[in-house]
Structure 1
Amino acid sequence: MTKKIDKRDWSKPWKNPIVLMWFGVLMAVLMTNFFMVGMAISTNPGLVIDNAYERGKNHASIIAHRQEMERMGWQLRVDMPVLTVGKSERVTLDILDRDNRPFDVDSATLYFYRPSDRNLDGELVFQSAGASGQYLADFELPVKGKWDLIVEVVKGDKHYSIGRSIMVQSDS
Protein backbone atom coordinates (compact mmCIF):
# COMPACT_ATOMS: atom_id res chain seq x y z
CA MET A 1 0.00 0.00 0.00
CA THR A 2 1.33 3.42 -0.85
CA LYS A 3 1.20 6.28 1.57
CA LYS A 4 0.05 9.65 0.43
CA ILE A 5 2.66 12.20 1.17
CA ASP A 6 1.73 15.86 1.60
CA LYS A 7 4.05 17.70 -0.74
CA ARG A 8 2.65 21.16 -0.10
CA ASP A 9 5.16 23.68 1.14
CA TRP A 10 3.65 25.51 4.15
CA SER A 11 6.81 27.45 4.82
CA LYS A 12 5.69 30.21 2.44
CA PRO A 13 3.30 32.36 4.48
CA TRP A 14 1.08 33.55 1.63
CA LYS A 15 0.28 29.98 0.65
CA ASN A 16 -0.66 28.86 4.16
CA PRO A 17 -4.49 28.80 4.53
CA ILE A 18 -4.33 29.81 8.20
CA VAL A 19 -2.33 32.94 7.35
CA LEU A 20 -4.74 33.74 4.52
CA MET A 21 -7.72 33.29 6.85
CA TRP A 22 -6.25 35.65 9.48
CA PHE A 23 -5.40 38.18 6.79
CA GLY A 24 -9.01 38.00 5.55
CA VAL A 25 -10.36 38.55 9.06
CA LEU A 26 -8.04 41.53 9.56
CA MET A 27 -9.14 43.08 6.26
CA ALA A 28 -12.83 42.58 7.14
CA VAL A 29 -12.33 44.30 10.51
CA LEU A 30 -10.45 47.21 8.92
CA MET A 31 -13.07 47.67 6.20
CA THR A 32 -15.84 47.64 8.82
CA ASN A 33 -14.01 50.25 10.90
CA PHE A 34 -13.47 52.53 7.90
CA PHE A 35 -17.15 52.21 7.01
CA MET A 36 -18.21 53.06 10.58
CA VAL A 37 -15.88 56.08 10.76
CA GLY A 38 -17.25 57.31 7.44
CA MET A 39 -20.83 56.94 8.65
CA ALA A 40 -20.03 58.70 11.93
CA ILE A 41 -18.58 61.66 10.05
CA SER A 42 -21.33 61.91 7.44
CA THR A 43 -24.24 61.49 9.89
CA ASN A 44 -22.86 63.67 12.68
CA PRO A 45 -25.87 65.16 14.50
CA GLY A 46 -23.86 68.26 15.33
CA LEU A 47 -25.42 68.55 18.77
CA VAL A 48 -23.17 70.79 20.79
CA ILE A 49 -23.58 71.86 24.39
CA ASP A 50 -21.85 75.12 25.18
CA ASN A 51 -21.31 74.35 28.84
CA ALA A 52 -20.91 70.57 29.00
CA TYR A 53 -18.63 70.74 32.04
CA GLU A 54 -21.05 72.89 34.04
CA ARG A 55 -23.93 70.65 33.04
CA GLY A 56 -22.00 67.59 34.14
CA LYS A 57 -21.31 69.13 37.55
CA ASN A 58 -25.06 69.55 38.05
CA HIS A 59 -25.77 65.84 37.56
CA ALA A 60 -26.56 65.27 41.24
CA SER A 61 -29.10 68.10 41.26
CA ILE A 62 -30.68 66.71 38.08
CA ILE A 63 -31.13 63.31 39.75
CA ALA A 64 -32.58 64.97 42.86
CA HIS A 65 -35.01 66.95 40.69
CA ARG A 66 -36.16 63.73 38.97
CA GLN A 67 -36.78 62.07 42.32
CA GLU A 68 -38.79 65.12 43.42
CA MET A 69 -40.88 64.87 40.24
CA GLU A 70 -41.59 61.20 40.99
CA ARG A 71 -42.71 62.10 44.54
CA MET A 72 -45.11 64.76 43.20
CA GLY A 73 -46.84 62.11 41.10
CA TRP A 74 -48.00 64.52 38.40
CA GLN A 75 -48.98 63.06 35.05
CA LEU A 76 -48.59 64.87 31.76
CA ARG A 77 -50.55 63.32 28.92
CA VAL A 78 -49.53 64.76 25.58
CA ASP A 79 -51.67 63.98 22.55
CA MET A 80 -49.45 64.73 19.58
CA PRO A 81 -50.44 63.61 16.10
CA VAL A 82 -47.86 62.49 13.55
CA LEU A 83 -46.34 65.74 12.35
CA THR A 84 -45.76 66.60 8.70
CA VAL A 85 -43.40 69.31 7.45
CA GLY A 86 -45.14 72.68 7.10
CA LYS A 87 -48.51 71.45 8.39
CA SER A 88 -49.86 72.87 11.64
CA GLU A 89 -51.30 70.28 14.03
CA ARG A 90 -53.17 70.65 17.31
CA VAL A 91 -51.29 69.35 20.36
CA THR A 92 -53.24 68.79 23.56
CA LEU A 93 -51.86 68.49 27.07
CA ASP A 94 -53.76 67.05 30.03
CA ILE A 95 -52.28 67.57 33.50
CA LEU A 96 -53.33 65.24 36.30
CA ASP A 97 -52.29 64.96 39.93
CA ARG A 98 -51.40 61.79 41.83
CA ASP A 99 -55.11 60.92 42.20
CA ASN A 100 -55.85 61.38 38.45
CA ARG A 101 -57.65 64.69 39.00
CA PRO A 102 -56.97 67.50 36.51
CA PHE A 103 -55.46 70.70 37.86
CA ASP A 104 -54.27 74.03 36.47
CA VAL A 105 -50.67 75.21 36.36
CA ASP A 106 -49.04 78.62 36.06
CA SER A 107 -47.43 77.81 32.70
CA ALA A 108 -47.04 74.95 30.25
CA THR A 109 -44.34 75.12 27.59
CA LEU A 110 -43.24 72.85 24.75
CA TYR A 111 -39.53 73.13 23.93
CA PHE A 112 -38.40 71.66 20.62
CA TYR A 113 -34.82 70.94 19.61
CA ARG A 114 -33.35 69.92 16.26
CA PRO A 115 -30.22 67.87 17.09
CA SER A 116 -28.50 68.82 13.84
CA ASP A 117 -29.27 72.56 13.77
CA ARG A 118 -29.63 74.67 16.89
CA ASN A 119 -30.97 77.57 14.81
CA LEU A 120 -34.28 75.67 14.50
CA ASP A 121 -34.70 75.22 18.28
CA GLY A 122 -37.61 77.00 19.89
CA GLU A 123 -40.46 76.95 22.35
CA LEU A 124 -44.23 77.13 22.26
CA VAL A 125 -46.46 78.17 25.15
CA PHE A 126 -49.64 76.13 25.66
CA GLN A 127 -52.93 78.02 26.07
CA SER A 128 -55.68 76.93 28.44
CA ALA A 129 -58.48 75.00 26.72
CA GLY A 130 -61.02 76.24 29.27
CA ALA A 131 -61.34 73.02 31.24
CA SER A 132 -59.22 72.40 34.31
CA GLY A 133 -55.86 70.86 33.45
CA GLN A 134 -56.34 71.01 29.68
CA TYR A 135 -54.06 72.99 27.40
CA LEU A 136 -53.79 73.39 23.62
CA ALA A 137 -51.22 74.58 21.11
CA ASP A 138 -51.00 74.59 17.33
CA PHE A 139 -47.61 73.20 16.41
CA GLU A 140 -45.65 73.13 13.16
CA LEU A 141 -42.07 72.10 12.43
CA PRO A 142 -40.23 73.35 9.33
CA VAL A 143 -37.88 70.42 8.61
CA LYS A 144 -38.43 66.67 8.39
CA GLY A 145 -36.41 64.29 10.53
CA LYS A 146 -35.66 63.80 14.20
CA TRP A 147 -36.71 66.37 16.80
CA ASP A 148 -36.38 66.25 20.59
CA LEU A 149 -39.32 67.62 22.59
CA ILE A 150 -39.64 68.60 26.24
CA VAL A 151 -42.94 69.57 27.84
CA GLU A 152 -42.49 71.54 31.06
CA VAL A 153 -45.19 72.71 33.44
CA VAL A 154 -44.69 75.12 36.33
CA LYS A 155 -46.91 75.60 39.35
CA GLY A 156 -45.49 77.93 41.96
CA ASP A 157 -41.93 76.84 42.58
CA LYS A 158 -42.52 73.29 41.30
CA HIS A 159 -41.38 72.24 37.85
CA TYR A 160 -42.35 69.02 36.09
CA SER A 161 -41.14 67.95 32.66
CA ILE A 162 -41.18 65.03 30.27
CA GLY A 163 -39.28 64.52 27.06
CA ARG A 164 -39.32 62.38 23.97
CA SER A 165 -38.06 62.27 20.40
CA ILE A 166 -40.26 62.33 17.32
CA MET A 167 -39.80 61.96 13.58
CA VAL A 168 -41.40 64.61 11.37
CA GLN A 169 -42.61 63.21 8.04
CA SER A 170 -42.04 64.80 4.64
CA ASP A 171 -44.98 66.54 3.00
CA SER A 172 -45.17 64.19 0.00
Structure 2
Amino acid sequence: MPRNKEFDYTEKLEVVRNLFWERGYNATSMHNIVASMKLNRSSIYDTYGNKHDLFLKCLSNYASLKENQYLKASTVKDKGIDALEYVIRDVVNQTLTDNKACLIVKTIFEVAPADEDVKNLLLIRGRTLQSILRNLVAQAQTEGDIKSKSNPAVIARYILSSFSSYWSHYILSKNKKEVLEMVDFLMEQIKR
Protein backbone atom coordinates (compact mmCIF):
# COMPACT_ATOMS: atom_id res chain seq x y z
CA MET A 1 0.00 0.00 0.00
CA PRO A 2 1.58 3.34 -1.06
CA ARG A 3 2.25 5.96 1.62
CA ASN A 4 0.55 9.32 1.46
CA LYS A 5 2.96 12.12 0.73
CA GLU A 6 3.69 14.13 3.85
CA PHE A 7 4.84 17.26 2.05
CA ASP A 8 3.40 19.90 -0.24
CA TYR A 9 4.42 19.12 -3.83
CA THR A 10 4.34 22.72 -5.06
CA GLU A 11 6.06 24.13 -1.98
CA LYS A 12 8.99 21.72 -2.37
CA LEU A 13 9.10 22.42 -6.10
CA GLU A 14 9.43 26.15 -5.36
CA VAL A 15 12.24 25.47 -2.89
CA VAL A 16 14.28 23.57 -5.44
CA ARG A 17 13.35 26.01 -8.21
CA ASN A 18 14.91 28.78 -6.13
CA LEU A 19 17.98 26.61 -5.60
CA PHE A 20 18.40 26.09 -9.36
CA TRP A 21 17.75 29.80 -9.86
CA GLU A 22 20.47 30.76 -7.38
CA ARG A 23 23.12 28.16 -8.23
CA GLY A 24 22.32 27.28 -11.83
CA TYR A 25 21.54 23.84 -13.17
CA ASN A 26 25.09 22.56 -13.57
CA ALA A 27 26.29 23.70 -10.14
CA THR A 28 23.33 22.12 -8.35
CA SER A 29 24.00 18.57 -7.21
CA MET A 30 21.54 15.95 -5.98
CA HIS A 31 23.11 16.44 -2.56
CA ASN A 32 22.14 20.16 -2.74
CA ILE A 33 18.64 19.21 -3.85
CA VAL A 34 18.14 16.72 -1.02
CA ALA A 35 19.43 19.25 1.54
CA SER A 36 17.24 22.11 0.29
CA MET A 37 14.05 20.07 -0.15
CA LYS A 38 14.59 18.22 3.16
CA LEU A 39 13.39 15.01 1.53
CA ASN A 40 15.18 11.74 1.02
CA ARG A 41 16.42 10.85 -2.44
CA SER A 42 13.85 8.13 -2.99
CA SER A 43 10.97 10.54 -2.28
CA ILE A 44 12.44 13.03 -4.73
CA TYR A 45 12.93 10.42 -7.45
CA ASP A 46 9.50 8.88 -6.85
CA THR A 47 7.71 12.25 -6.90
CA TYR A 48 9.71 14.45 -9.26
CA GLY A 49 12.04 12.14 -11.18
CA ASN A 50 15.76 12.63 -11.64
CA LYS A 51 17.57 15.99 -11.50
CA HIS A 52 16.79 16.75 -15.14
CA ASP A 53 13.09 15.89 -14.79
CA LEU A 54 12.94 17.99 -11.63
CA PHE A 55 14.60 20.91 -13.40
CA LEU A 56 12.09 20.73 -16.26
CA LYS A 57 9.23 20.78 -13.74
CA CYS A 58 10.80 23.79 -11.99
CA LEU A 59 11.32 25.60 -15.28
CA SER A 60 7.75 24.91 -16.39
CA ASN A 61 6.46 26.13 -13.02
CA TYR A 62 8.49 29.33 -13.34
CA ALA A 63 7.33 29.87 -16.94
CA SER A 64 3.72 29.59 -15.75
CA LEU A 65 4.40 32.28 -13.15
CA LYS A 66 5.86 34.58 -15.83
CA GLU A 67 2.90 33.94 -18.15
CA ASN A 68 0.52 34.85 -15.34
CA GLN A 69 2.57 37.98 -14.58
CA TYR A 70 2.40 39.08 -18.24
CA LEU A 71 -1.31 38.31 -18.53
CA LYS A 72 -2.20 40.09 -15.31
CA ALA A 73 -0.11 43.14 -16.20
CA SER A 74 -1.58 43.23 -19.71
CA THR A 75 -5.09 43.74 -18.32
CA VAL A 76 -4.28 46.64 -15.99
CA LYS A 77 -4.68 49.30 -18.69
CA ASP A 78 -7.28 49.62 -21.44
CA LYS A 79 -5.18 51.14 -24.22
CA GLY A 80 -2.76 48.75 -25.92
CA ILE A 81 0.28 51.02 -25.61
CA ASP A 82 -0.37 51.67 -21.90
CA ALA A 83 -0.81 47.96 -21.22
CA LEU A 84 2.34 47.13 -23.22
CA GLU A 85 4.38 49.69 -21.31
CA TYR A 86 2.96 48.44 -18.02
CA VAL A 87 3.98 44.85 -18.85
CA ILE A 88 7.50 45.90 -19.84
CA ARG A 89 8.02 48.02 -16.73
CA ASP A 90 6.47 45.37 -14.50
CA VAL A 91 8.86 42.69 -15.80
CA VAL A 92 11.91 44.96 -15.51
CA ASN A 93 10.96 46.18 -12.04
CA GLN A 94 10.37 42.62 -10.86
CA THR A 95 13.85 41.62 -12.06
CA LEU A 96 15.45 44.63 -10.38
CA THR A 97 13.51 43.97 -7.17
CA ASP A 98 14.47 40.28 -7.16
CA ASN A 99 18.05 41.34 -7.94
CA LYS A 100 18.53 38.26 -10.07
CA ALA A 101 18.09 37.41 -13.70
CA CYS A 102 14.96 35.73 -14.90
CA LEU A 103 15.34 31.95 -14.53
CA ILE A 104 14.39 31.56 -18.18
CA VAL A 105 17.13 33.96 -19.28
CA LYS A 106 19.72 32.20 -17.12
CA THR A 107 18.64 28.84 -18.50
CA ILE A 108 18.82 30.03 -22.11
CA PHE A 109 22.52 30.71 -21.70
CA GLU A 110 23.48 27.91 -19.32
CA VAL A 111 21.46 24.87 -20.36
CA ALA A 112 19.48 25.36 -23.59
CA PRO A 113 22.40 25.20 -26.06
CA ALA A 114 23.17 21.61 -25.03
CA ASP A 115 19.76 20.32 -23.90
CA GLU A 116 16.99 19.83 -26.47
CA ASP A 117 14.30 19.19 -23.85
CA VAL A 118 15.04 22.48 -22.12
CA LYS A 119 15.37 24.32 -25.42
CA ASN A 120 11.99 23.02 -26.64
CA LEU A 121 10.26 23.87 -23.36
CA LEU A 122 11.67 27.42 -23.52
CA LEU A 123 10.64 27.83 -27.16
CA ILE A 124 7.08 26.74 -26.43
CA ARG A 125 6.71 28.85 -23.31
CA GLY A 126 8.46 31.80 -24.96
CA ARG A 127 5.88 31.77 -27.75
CA THR A 128 3.18 32.31 -25.14
CA LEU A 129 4.97 35.34 -23.69
CA GLN A 130 5.61 36.66 -27.18
CA SER A 131 1.94 36.20 -28.07
CA ILE A 132 0.86 38.35 -25.12
CA LEU A 133 3.23 41.12 -26.23
CA ARG A 134 2.29 40.71 -29.91
CA ASN A 135 -1.40 41.15 -29.13
CA LEU A 136 -0.70 44.36 -27.20
CA VAL A 137 1.51 45.69 -30.00
CA ALA A 138 -1.19 44.93 -32.58
CA GLN A 139 -3.80 46.64 -30.42
CA ALA A 140 -1.56 49.71 -30.04
CA GLN A 141 -0.97 49.80 -33.81
CA THR A 142 -4.72 49.63 -34.45
CA GLU A 143 -5.29 52.42 -31.93
CA GLY A 144 -2.63 54.54 -33.68
CA ASP A 145 -0.23 54.68 -30.74
CA ILE A 146 2.47 52.69 -32.53
CA LYS A 147 3.22 54.25 -35.88
CA SER A 148 5.50 51.49 -37.15
CA LYS A 149 3.97 49.14 -39.68
CA SER A 150 6.43 46.41 -38.65
CA ASN A 151 4.96 43.01 -37.96
CA PRO A 152 3.75 42.94 -34.31
CA ALA A 153 5.53 39.58 -33.85
CA VAL A 154 8.88 41.17 -34.74
CA ILE A 155 8.33 43.99 -32.24
CA ALA A 156 7.25 41.48 -29.58
CA ARG A 157 10.38 39.36 -30.15
CA TYR A 158 12.50 42.48 -29.88
CA ILE A 159 10.87 43.46 -26.58
CA LEU A 160 11.27 39.96 -25.16
CA SER A 161 14.94 39.78 -26.13
CA SER A 162 15.54 43.23 -24.60
CA PHE A 163 14.86 41.88 -21.11
CA SER A 164 18.11 39.90 -21.05
CA SER A 165 20.00 43.01 -22.16
CA TYR A 166 18.61 45.05 -19.28
CA TRP A 167 19.68 42.41 -16.81
CA SER A 168 23.19 42.06 -18.24
CA HIS A 169 23.61 45.84 -18.04
CA TYR A 170 22.39 45.86 -14.44
CA ILE A 171 24.76 43.02 -13.46
CA LEU A 172 27.70 45.07 -14.69
CA SER A 173 26.64 48.56 -13.66
CA LYS A 174 24.29 48.04 -10.68
CA ASN A 175 22.69 51.22 -11.99
CA LYS A 176 18.91 50.94 -11.86
CA LYS A 177 18.52 54.46 -13.27
CA GLU A 178 20.38 53.52 -16.45
CA VAL A 179 18.25 50.41 -16.92
CA LEU A 180 15.07 52.45 -16.54
CA GLU A 181 16.44 54.97 -19.06
CA MET A 182 16.93 52.05 -21.47
CA VAL A 183 13.28 51.09 -20.95
CA ASP A 184 12.27 54.70 -21.65
CA PHE A 185 14.28 54.57 -24.87
CA LEU A 186 12.65 51.28 -25.88
CA MET A 187 9.20 52.79 -25.37
CA GLU A 188 10.17 55.83 -27.48
CA GLN A 189 11.32 53.54 -30.29
CA ILE A 190 8.20 51.39 -30.14
CA LYS A 191 5.90 54.40 -30.41
CA ARG A 192 7.57 55.69 -33.60
Q: TM-score range by the shorter chain?
A: under 0.3
- Could you state the TM-score of these two structures normalised by the residue count of structure 1? 0.22
Q: Which has the higher strand share?
A: 1
Higher helix share: 2
Give TM-score scaled by structure 2 length: 0.20
Structure with bigger gyration radius: 1
